[in-house]
Amino acid sequence: MTQALFQPGARLSTKKPPRTPGTWRERAADPMFNVIAVGILLVGIIAIIYPLYFIVIASVSEPNEILNGNVWLWPRGFTLEGYQRIFSEASIMRGFANSVLYTVVGTAISVATILGAGYALSRKDLFGRTFFTFLFILTMFIDGGLIARYLVVRELGMLDTIWAVVLPGAVGVWNLIIARSFFEGNIPDELREAAQLDGANDFRFFFRIALPLSKPLIFLMIMIHLVANWNAFFDALIFLNDENKYPLQLVLRNVLIQSTVTDAGGAGALDSYAAAQRLGELIKYGMIVISTIPLLIVLPFMQKHFTQGALLGAVKS
């Protein structure tokens, strides 16, 4: 065939080889693909967006209309009584500030320890690397239970302090494994050896080279722990006695209990148990909206890094 190309009078073929459809313009020729793809996307969007939308309209609708199934696309019996009851509590803003503090401090501690431990365990020259990894994994299967945990926190003098909320669950083993896998797969040993030849020690390599190359992992860890620390309330319920230190989730829980069990205190006396249940329903939906809005504002800005970090950290286990 090569000889035929160089024979006198031979012409090269200008016909382009067939291309596999890859762009949207090329796929437009396949209407069935478009119908299926758009249908799946619409179903996914509705399944995600509608529950959030329903919570919002339910928080300003008459509870009886909700129970009767009349609330679908817009509020019925519009009322702000639930939000008025929630914000009439002076403890709400204090709980919000406490949650912000616990979330920021807890996330900083968790991310710092996981990144450091993950990098250390990714180093093949770490003495006892397999043993330390085994100890971390062992905690996923063996747990001393709530009583043992409470006794440890008490003996360490952390009861009724911020540290009782942020330290016991600071290091998640699964997140540690993701971090270790990320460093193993994306920070080659040759890069560290080259840095050592230039005079960089382990700490300088970690802070000046490894961390800047690990932004997807860092954002992934921040996002995971932001959500976990913001929604956490169980440790605060067990280890905190001072109500002034309660996080927002625990404050809202107490407000809901008071509204459904008692006469709602400063909101005015309720005439019947049914009225208390009505107010409790309004507060329940309002609580969900209030506690979710901060995450809905922050997390979309980190979504790209979350996806990239999750994929890179999960490639190698």
User: What does the pLDDT look like over 126-145, one tens digit per residue?
Assistant: 888 889 989 888 888 887 78
How high does pLDDT run on average in the chain?
79
Same domain, 132 and 249: yes
Q: What is the pLDDT of residue 92?
A: 80
Q: How many domains does the chain have?
A: 2
Task: Residue 117: give its domain's CATH number.
Answer: 1.10.3720.10
* pLDDT recorded at residue 106: 93
Q: What pLDDT digit, counting tens, does each position of 171-182 carry?
A: 888 889 889 988
**Do 76 and 89 reside in the same domain of the chain?**
no
Question: Could you tell me if residue 291 is inside a domain?
Answer: yes
Q: Would you put residue 265 in left (φ > 0), alpha (ψ -120 to 50) or beta?
A: left
pLDDT of residue 163: 92
Q: State whether 196 and 302 are in the same domain.
A: yes
Q: Do 216 and 286 belong to one domain?
A: yes
- Does the structure show a pLDDT above 60 at 22? no
pLDDT tens figures, 195-224: 888 888 888 889 988 888 888 888 888 888
Residue 293 banded pLDDT, cuts 50, 70, 90: confident
* 12 is a domain residue: no
Domain boundary, last residue among 54, 81, 108: 81
Look at residue 307 in the predicted model and tell me its pLDDT: 61
At 249 the pLDDT is 85
- Residue-level pLDDT at 263: 46
Same domain, 184 and 59: no
Of residues 59 and 267, the one with the higher pLDDT is 59
Give the integer Cα–Cα distance in Å for 256 and 275.
Answer: 14
Residue 300 or 182, more confident: 182
Does residue 7 register a pLDDT over 60? no
Per-residue confidence band for 316, with pLDDT thresholds at 50, 70 and 90 = very low
Residues spanned by the domain of 129 = 85-314
Task: Tell me the C-alpha to C-alpha distance, in Å, between residue 124 and each of 40, 112, 172, 188.
Answer: 45, 21, 22, 11
* Same domain assignment for residues 114 and 186: yes
- Answer whether 189's CB lies under 8 Å from 102's CB: no
In this prediction, residue 115 has a pLDDT band, given cuts at 50, 70 and 90, of very high
Is the pLDDT at 31 greater than 50? The verdict is: yes
pLDDT of residue 110: 93
Spatial separation of the C-alpha atoms in residues 111 and 217, rounded to whole Å: 10
CA distance 96 to 114: 26
Domain presence at residue 149: yes
Q: Bigger pLDDT: 251 or 301? A: 251
3-state secondary structure (DSSP) of residue 88: coil
End-to-end CA distance of the chain: 49
- For residue 162, give both structure tokens: 């911020």
Residue 204 lies in a domain: yes
- What pLDDT is recorded for position 5? 47
11 within a domain of the structure (yes/no): no
Q: How many Å apart are CA 206 and CA 189, to the nearest integer?
A: 12
74 and 132, same structural domain? Answer: no
SS3 content of the chain, % helix, strand, coil (to 5): 70, 0, 30
CA separation for the pair 62, 286 (Å, rounded)? 13
pTM of the model: 0.73
Of 42, 66, 81, the residue at which a domain comes to its end is 81
Structure letter (DSSP) for residue 24: H
